[in-house]
Amino acid sequence: MRGKFVGGMHPSEFLDTFLGGDAFDNGSVPNSPWNDQVKNSFKAVNVGTTKMKGEKLITTPPTESVMGTRLADAIQQCIDTKCFEYVDTHTQCDVNKIPRAPDTGTDGTLYAVSSRDLRGDKPNSTFSECTTEIKRAETAHVFSDNTAQDFELLTQDSIETRGQFTAYAVPPLMFQFRTHFFTVFIRGDTARLIRWDRAGAIVTTAFCYGEEPYLADFYWRFTNATPQARGHDTTVQRLSTSDPIALEAQEALKLKPNEPIYEIKVWNDVSTATEDKNTEKVQTPETADQGRSYYGTDPIVNNAQSATGRATRIFKVWDRQENEIVALKDCWRVDSSSILPEGQVYEQLQKAEVRNIPTCLRAGDVDPSCPYQRTQTQCPPSSTRTLRSHIHYRIVMKEVCRCNITEFKNTKELVRVIRDALIAHTDACEKAGLLHRDVSAGNILITTDGKGLLSDWELSKEVTKLAKARQHERTGTWQFMSAALLQQERPCHSIQDDLESFFHVFSWISLQYTKNHLSPVDLGEHLYDAYDKAVVDASRDLVYGAAAKLDKLKSRALREIGFVDSAFRSLLLDWEDTCAARYDPEPDQDQIAEARKKLEWSHLSPKEQNEILAYMPGCQTQAKRDRLKSGQWFIDRCDEAMKSNNWPSLAEARFVNPIITKDPASNVHVYPPTAPSTRGTKRTSGTSAEQLKSGSSTSDGKPKRRKVNPTVGNAQTTRRTRSSAFGSQMERVEEQADV
């Protein structure tokens, strides 16, 4: 989230912009609830206890727990209590669990009364309407309202607190159907209102909530506003369990009786949706205005683990109109005239007969007439930073895949699937003139019959335009970006970068799921250094990769890992050697030209000549670099490996290697160093007291789900410790996984 907080908006402007007249059914802002009684209730929130100590009168500020109880009493006077209730939730963690992250829990949560039976008696972010985070007055400032300073303060305490309430904004956006979400940050006797969407967060200036009416007005307006203004995506509706369509969907999807059923609407921007048998219905005004309904339950893939970014989720849904089970992708696409919507990219790929890609049936922006379906954080004129604008987007695909490539059954399937994805990538470059630019483990899918598909083409770009940079941020998934793209001075994205990304996917999976000699500690270190580590240069507002990925590639580190001697190992090492050639010393071009001249008189094909050059002294590096001009060598090499008989059972088998990892919050290294924390030593995310002494924490080894042992301690301390570390981790996830 660094750099994605937009500050300086006055609370009155905030309220009028986001909860003004258009936020209410009657078009009129309701009268303020502010009166002396409400004012005194809010003033009492931060009143401390006073007692004599010797000859001095000492005032002790209230604890966060006491502040929370008093704040709940004050807020209850400013909400529509027939429809909403404010609950003090500071003692318990959210029932929803986020992969790779500790538990989270807010100090206070606003719920709709109608959700009481569904949410149960524990904090449940699936139903939260708005949340509150409370800090005592002595807590370090998080933001600066001084225009001469950067808005986001960079002391260690500031970063931790900001990360903490960022972490609390993630679950509602991840587990609900939302366009935006509101939170309140209390620090002593001041408050800030925050509106989150997939572009960033708009934060008000600090105000005294016991003297000024803005907090009371916020809750009153919020609880009287329309669902859309409160942030609900009304193009998705949860059906009653007794609804006849819900019962049909439950049977079609083979769901359990207690699983929720949602009606999800999809619009269509693609001129000819392939495989759509009802094109006449697609063109009707009713469908164009209201979208076409699909029915499903909770997502089978949920990558919305950051408050901002594309927030991709995949649903297995029932198309009632066709009586078919299909896949529905929900995401927030980048709003740029130079980036085609993914459905239009699929249209080009399918016309060019690109193999091994999903079949797009329908795709379009969600409810184009609704302004809430576009992010608004990038709009305030007070922002000096260029933020990516996003548009809510859905796409329906024919194939409902078994899993992504990380869940391969054996290494032969792994190689076959990655080969199939390479065919799609090569076809796209050569037939359609498009480069994928986001090759990752999550984007290579395995169909029910074991075939590989390359999906998620939303960041693709025309090959002829690769030299023209169009966004200030990197493109791709951090762990799988090429070493070149992670440098401070990075080149424009090229086909060589994508092919190297295929290697990093292959290596990352092989390290975790095939037999090798690395100990759990060494494996954790290798994965951390090569794939997770990042450096934040605060002085230049840059994020770049550590040197380890480049160093390991140049040294051909996989040779020493101890993979089982086999065709599989040879394939992996050949890929590593070929990709590493990009970073080897420049070859002698005169010597290469002389060697090529000698081969001109042979009857060998250019491909055969290049393979001979790979063994000639002084020419190997260039020959390997030439392989990176196309994916064909990688495809051929996969075919060669799969035909080999040197594939012993230990090499073919899938293993889940144990991993001991570093604290995920330590993956980001800030330079120059921030001011030290004033809180003293504290346990980081998922680290017990014993582990703190030994300097290790354990993991179950699943990719992107390396869970750590639970923290020990009392409920209040545990939640605070976890959440602060999670905040730091979530900043890393945003900077790395969705750049």
What distance in Å separates the CA atoms of residue 560 and residue 557, rounded to the nearest whole number? 6
Give the chain's end-to-end CA distance (angstroms, integer): 11
- What does the block give as tokens for 285? 């005004």
What distance in Å separates the CA atoms of residue 171 and residue 423, rounded to the nearest whole number? 37
Rg (C-alpha) for the chain, rounded Å, is 28
CB atoms within 10 A of CB 584: 14
Burial 709-730 (b: 16+ CB within 10 A, else e): eebeeeeeebbbbbbbbbbbbb
CB atoms within 10 A of CB 36: 7
- Residue 475 has what pLDDT? 66
What distance in Å separates the CA atoms of residue 282 and residue 293, rounded to the nearest whole number? 12
Residue 701 Ramachandran class (φ > 0 left, ψ -120 to 50 alpha, else beta): left
689-708 pLDDT, tens digit per residue, is: 333 233 333 333 333 333 32
CB atoms within 10 A of CB 181: 26
More confident residue, 92 or 721: 92
324-353 pLDDT, tens digit per residue, is: 999 999 999 999 888 889 999 999 999 999
- What does the block give as tokens for 428? 């796209």
The predicted model gives 398-413 an average pLDDT of: 95
- Residue 568 has what pLDDT? 98
**Cβ proximity of 543 and 535 under 8 Å:** yes
Of the candidates 23, 376, 22, 331, the one whose C-alpha atom is nearest the C-alpha of residue 196 is 376
What distance in Å separates the CA atoms of residue 285 and residue 287, rounded to the nearest whole number? 6
556-595 pLDDT, tens digit per residue, is: 999 999 999 999 999 999 999 999 999 998 888 887 787 7
- What does the block give as tokens for 371? 């302004």
- Residue 245 has what pLDDT? 97
Residues with Cβ within 8 Å of residue 717, at least 6 apart in sequence: none
Percentage of the chain modeled with pLDDT above 70: 83
Counts of helices then strands in the chain (DSSP H, E): 22, 28
Say which residue the tokens 């992504």 belong to: 404
Confidence class for position 269, pLDDT limits 50, 70, 90: confident
- Residue 154 has what pLDDT? 85
- pLDDT of residue 509 exceeding 50, the answer is yes
Confidence class for position 494, pLDDT limits 50, 70, 90: very high
- pLDDT of residue 604 exceeding 90, the answer is no
Confidence class for position 98, pLDDT limits 50, 70, 90: confident
- Return phi, psi of residue 182, to 5°: -105, 140
35-57 pLDDT, tens digit per residue, is: 999 999 999 999 998 887 777 88
Tell me the three state secondary structure of residue 482.
coil
The predicted model gives 114-130 an average pLDDT of: 93
DSSP letter for each residue of 300-335? SEE---SSSS---EEEEEEETTTTEEEEEEEEEEE-
Kindly report the pTM of this predicted structure: 0.83
- Residue 661 has what pLDDT? 74
- What does the block give as tokens for 483? 């070493």
- Residue 491 has what pLDDT? 81
Domains in the chain: ranges and CATH: 5-230 (3.90.1570), 233-271+289-399 (no CATH), 477-663 (no CATH)
The predicted model gives 302-330 an average pLDDT of: 94
